[in-house]
């Protein structure tokens, strides 16, 4: 069973908490004791209804404690698929939170209040979704009950958002009218919105095609661990363990190890201890090579006829997450997949306006939540692809070398 990772984005009053609560409640993904606790807390409600927004209170508490870089996650599953919801606040001062949550998301649900339509916050979230190259976007037009389930209101918002999506280059957009409060079109089709002929939200989440998002062309295999048992039984065993992050590898493929540039041929592929003829993303495998060459953790095994860039100077968009400002000349550790290397930020080229995507003049330093274009120089070459082309080999992080805290999320250009 595959896993869909998605993030919900919306203003405080757009009903994000209620939507998550409704999705969990109607899909029967809530533990009985948790549900009983929520029912007790909801007793003061005039009509005795359960306040579904309370279901996310635990997430808020986690966030306030600073767990997982201020992003909390909720898990649930249906017979068709498993889901991980990244819950990140949407205020501009929490841009880093949304970037963190969205960086691994396959889909973003952008909530729009039907009464207010497309607003600045909607554009901001959409811009971040486009920056992070999220493959699928669901525009959930919420609170339809407060506009009498008007089809005209829905159509006007679709027209307005279509212009935003076109300007940002968003591709797979799905629109859905919902009422998270009443459960309209969340898990079951709504009788109140009979003019809507599309699928309900859960149906969309269960059936969005994730296999189309995997790149099977550009083969990339970052080595996580070099296996050398050196026992009597496995005296000459030498395998390279890791996950195929993209592409397909077959026995007999000519390969190059980057950044060293050493060449060899795949002699054996193992999955769960058994030999196989080929492996593909996102399988975890062990590769064996015909030649005994020098390979370490962080090296990337690629095909000879399809190689990434290998440079020690890269341009990157960086969402700054550190409380201490980013100052050109400061030294950090850059990590891309399993490779870590010392790095220095040479200069800030410009600051990105997350409300308009306009390039603002370069500041002397970048502060928390700023998104800036920078030039990074590394102590040794790194193999990479542009984030736009291949997210899995174009995303990186900057780590403070003294505190070991992640301070920047990088999208290599």
Q: Is residue 382 within 8 Å of 152, Cβ to Cβ? A: no
What does R_g of the chain's alpha carbons equal in angstroms?
Answer: 24
pLDDT at 214: 87
Q: What is the rounded distance in angstroms from the CA atom of residue 346 to the CA atom of residue 377?
A: 7
**Mean pLDDT, contiguous 10-residue spans, the chain (413 residues):** 87 77 81 68 59 61 46 81 81 72 87 91 84 91 95 96 90 93 92 94 93 89 92 84 96 96 96 93 95 94 96 94 92 96 96 84 91 95 94 93 91 92
Q: What is the rounded distance in angstroms from the CA atom of residue 301 to the CA atom of residue 246?
A: 11
3-state SS assignment for residue 152:
helix
Buried b (16+ CB within 10 A) or exposed e, 259-282: beebebebeebbeeeeeeebbebe
How many alpha carbons fall within 13 Å on the CB side of residue 185? 24
CA 303 to chain centre: 26
Encoded tokens for 46: 């005039």
pLDDT at 13: 72
**Is beta strand 82-87 parallel, antiparallel or unpaired with respect to 72-77?**
antiparallel
How many Cβ atoms from other residues are within 10 Å of residue 362's Cβ?
A: 16
**How large is the angle between the packed helices 151-168 and 120-131, nearest 10 degrees?**
40
pLDDT at 294: 92
**Is beta strand 300-303 parallel, antiparallel or unpaired with respect to 220-227?**
antiparallel
3-state SS assignment for residue 168:
helix
**Phi, psi at 195, each rounded to 5°:** -75, -15
pLDDT at 345: 96
In this prediction the pTM is 0.81
**How large is the angle between the packed helices 120-131 and 95-102, nearest 10 degrees?**
40
**Is beta strand 172-177 parallel, antiparallel or unpaired with respect to 136-142?**
parallel
């Amino acid at each position: 069973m595959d896993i869909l990772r998605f993030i919900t984005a919306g203003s405080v009053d757009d009903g994000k908490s209620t939507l998550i609560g409704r999705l969990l409640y109607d899909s029967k993904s809530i533990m009985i004791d948790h549900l009983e606790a929520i029912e007790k807390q909801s007793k003061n409600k005039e009509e005795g209804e359960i306040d579904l927004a309370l279901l996310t209170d635990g997430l808020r508490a986690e966030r306030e404690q600073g767990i997982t870089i201020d992003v909390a996650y909720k898990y649930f599953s249906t017979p068709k698929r498993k889901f991980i919801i990244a819950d990140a606040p949407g205020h501009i001062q929490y841009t880093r939170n949304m970037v963190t949550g969205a960086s691994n998301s396959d889909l973003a649900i952008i909530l729009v209040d039907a009464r207010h339509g497309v607003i600045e916050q909607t554009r901001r979230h959409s811009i971040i979704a486009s920056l992070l190259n999220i493959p699928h976007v669901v525009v959930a037009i919420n609170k339809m009950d407060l506009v009498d389930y008007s089809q005209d209101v829905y159509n006007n918002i679709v027209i307005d958002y279509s212009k935003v999506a076109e300007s940002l280059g968003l591709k797979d957009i799905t629109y859905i009218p919902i009422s998270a409060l009443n459960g309209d079109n969340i898990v079951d089709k709504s009788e109140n919105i009979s003019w809507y002929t599309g699928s309900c939200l859960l149906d969309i989440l269960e059936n969005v095609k994730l296999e189309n998002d995997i790149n099977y062309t550009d083969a990339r295999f970052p080595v996580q661990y070099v296996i050398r048992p050196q026992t009597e039984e496995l005296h000459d065993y030498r395998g390279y363990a890791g996950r195929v992050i993209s592409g397909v590898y077959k026995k007999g493929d000519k390969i190059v190890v980057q950044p060293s540039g050493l060449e060899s041929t795949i002699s054996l592929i193992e999955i769960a201890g058994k030999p196989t003829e080929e492996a593909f993303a996102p399988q975890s495998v062990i590769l064996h090579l015909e030649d005994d060459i020098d390979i370490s953790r962080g090296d990337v095994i690629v095909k000879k006829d399809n190689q990434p860039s290998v440079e020690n100077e890269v341009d990157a968009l960086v969402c700054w997450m550190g409380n201490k400002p980013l100052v050109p000349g400061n030294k950090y550790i850059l990590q891309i997949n399993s490779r870590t290397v010392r790095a220095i930020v040479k200069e800030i080229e410009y600051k990105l306006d997350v409300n308009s995507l306009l390039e603002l003049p370069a500041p002397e330093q970048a502060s928390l939540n700023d998104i800036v274009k920078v030039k990074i120089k590394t102590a040794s070459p790194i193999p990479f692809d542009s984030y736009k082309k291949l997210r899995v080999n174009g995303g990186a992080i900057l780590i403070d070398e003294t505190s070991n805290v992640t301070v920047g999320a990088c999208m290599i250009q």
